[in-house]
Amino acid sequence: MDINLLSEGQLSALRNLSHKSAGALTAFVNIANARQLTELGLAVRSRQGWDITAAGLAQLQRVDGGDTRDTTPIPFAPSES
């Protein structure tokens, strides 16, 4: 698989992992897409699911043309007691 020919699903998963690495709450990623990203070295399997690699971040910068991390703070919702 050519790293420059990622599917929309793979790119979406990669962007999701980028947001996750920045501390944002993210939705689950498609397992098949995450596994393919792992095979390409763009993600790694972790105890929490998958994490983006430096190569994955670099690929997103090439595709998206800049910093892909969303650093917007996410407010913590206190639990109702």
pLDDT tens digit sequence for 39-80: 999 999 999 889 999 999 999 988 887 654 555 555 555 666
pLDDT of residue 68: 46
Q: Whole-model pTM?
A: 0.72
Return the H-helix or E-strand segment holding 35. Answer: helix 31-39
Q: Which fold has domain 3-64?
A: Arc Repressor Mutant, subunit A (1.10.10)
77: number of Cβ within 10 Å: 6
